[in-house]
Amino acid sequence: MQRKLSTGQMQMIALGGTIGVGLFMGSSSTIKWTGPSVLIAYIVSGAFLYLIMRALGEMLYVDPNTGSFAKFASEYIHPVFGYLTAWSNIFQFVVVGMSEMIALGGYCRYWWPNLPDWIPGLIAIVFLCAANLISVKMFGTLETWFSLIKVVTIILMIIAGLGLIIFGIGNGGHPIGISNLWTHGGFFTGGVKGFVFALAIVLASYQGIELIGVTAGEAENPQSTIVKAIRSTVARILIFYVGAIFVIVSIYPWDKLSQIGSPFVQTFAKIGITAAASIINFVVITASLSGTNSGIYSASRMTYTLAESHQLPRKMTLLNRHGVPFYSVIAIATGILIGVVLNVVLPMFFKDASEIFVMVYSSSVLPGMVPWFVILVSQIAFRKQNAAKMANHPFKMPLSPYSNYLTLAFLALTLVFMFINPETRYSILVGVVFLVIMTLIYFRKYAGNKEETL
């Protein structure tokens, strides 16, 4: 493969993989559990995600490879964990891509109400597959623009919201202030239980940030690029998420959000942008394309990694003349195409399109957290085995291994509460079934064959 990704592209890829339609369209659903204190949930989750990325960065600085965290899991824990991590990443991004294609049909119906939902998805997959096959630089450029659209929208929304809060712009010159943070039942409206339920959902919204680890194998000057990308990406994601949610819960009473639709649309409309709904619809379409684009890239590189270790057909390692794993990209795009098929079949059984989207998307939550667990555990063993390299290492994991144990406990706690919560229990069970099946397959086919590791 070719090292063609710059620091800026890596940052935008990570932003694109993390900031998705959940923030633009689904932020009101995360707020319902705990009210304005969802801000704390985003900050706490972001702080733990920073520790996970620092653990990954410490290892990548020494060994920047494509499919890195799957390789680290195999090398520093056990080959079965490398296998599960790679397949979890593939499962996660294929399912996310499928759900994004399901959502895309609904977004396009806003402008073309008679257009069959499957047509936009089919066109999108063909386009994104072609872009990924051209070169990794083309993928990086496309994802940069997709991410830029989302980032600019969030920044403008935060600026517009602060104008309303501080100066009353769009409210007759009467500042709204921030009293909505505590005047509608308090800051922690759902108590401890509601806060922890929200924490679990918020944590899932950060999935995709580990894409930095997948891009490391194709990054220019990987050591300096990785350090810059991790330091800046986590900070920007925190600012965008926390800033946007702060504006939303300050302007609108938290218990009225479910009645107003997208808070982004309402905020822009309130300051006089009459085309707000069309603008946000365009943004969520690009967010959907961005999520699928990142999914094709990440999952195809994990497929390549599995094929290198003889756990998938060797054909999946074949590169085209642009240094892209041709068959891996085609295979993942075909998997995401199932989402287009589901868009035709599922409406026969479920009338609510959002219900279909949530059903498909939620099944990726637990597999999406697997890389975080293995990154934290791998880094502890990595540091022990590379003690000599740690002396002058400029990007160490802070307070390791205690910070690792604390973060692992936090992740485990959120999974427990996701199982307790009836609305997220289904997603956990789907993930458990997937991991059990893949573990059985590994021990049946590959256990004992020491040459075939990631």
Kindly tell me if the per-residue pLDDT of 67 is higher than 70.
no
C-alpha–C-alpha distance, residues 80 and 77, integer Å: 8
Residue type, 91: F
Q: Enumerate residues 6+ apart whose C-beta is below 8 A from 153.
A: 24, 264, 279, 280, 283
Nearest to 378 by CA among 82, 62, 86: 82
Give the tens place of pLDDT for each residue, 380-422: 999 999 888 888 888 899 999 999 999 999 999 888 888 888 8
C-alpha–C-alpha distance, residues 280 and 152, integer Å: 12
C-alpha–C-alpha distance, residues 451 and 128, integer Å: 35
Token pair in block for residue 278: 């069309």
Give the tens place of pLDDT for each residue, 78-133: 999 999 998 998 998 888 888 888 888 878 888 898 988 889 999 999 999 999 89
- Residue 229's Cβ-count burial label (10 Å; 0-12, 13-18, 19+) is buried
| pLDDT of amino acid 173 | 86
pTM: 0.84
Q: Which of 92-96, 200-204, 275-279 has the lowest mean pLDDT?
A: 200-204
So where are the chain's domains? 7-445
| pLDDT of amino acid 433 | 93
Token pair in block for residue 88: 């979890």
The number of beta carbons lying within 10 Å of the beta carbon of residue 54 is: 21
C-alpha–C-alpha distance, residues 6 and 12, integer Å: 10
Rg (CA), the chain: 22
Q: How confident is the model at residue 278 (pLDDT cuts 50, 70, 90)?
A: confident
| pLDDT of amino acid 40 | 92
The 8 Å CB, 24+ separation contacts for 270-273 are 270/164, 270/170, 270/171, 271/160, 271/163, 271/164, 271/169, 271/170, 272/170
C-alpha–C-alpha distance, residues 341 and 304, integer Å: 26
Do 422 and 254 contact (CB within 8 A), yes or no? no
Q: How confident is the model at residue 10 (pLDDT cuts 50, 70, 90)?
A: low
Mean pLDDT of the chain: 83
SS3 242: helix
SS3 320: coil
Q: How far is CA 49 from CA 20, 378, 410, in A?
A: 17, 16, 11
Q: Enumerate residues 6+ apart whose C-beta is below 8 A from 92.
A: 207, 299, 364, 367, 368
Q: Which of 4-8, 128-132, 312-316 has the lowest mean pLDDT?
A: 4-8
Residue 5 β-bridge partners: 219
- Architecture of the domain whose range is 7-445: Up-down Bundle (1.20)
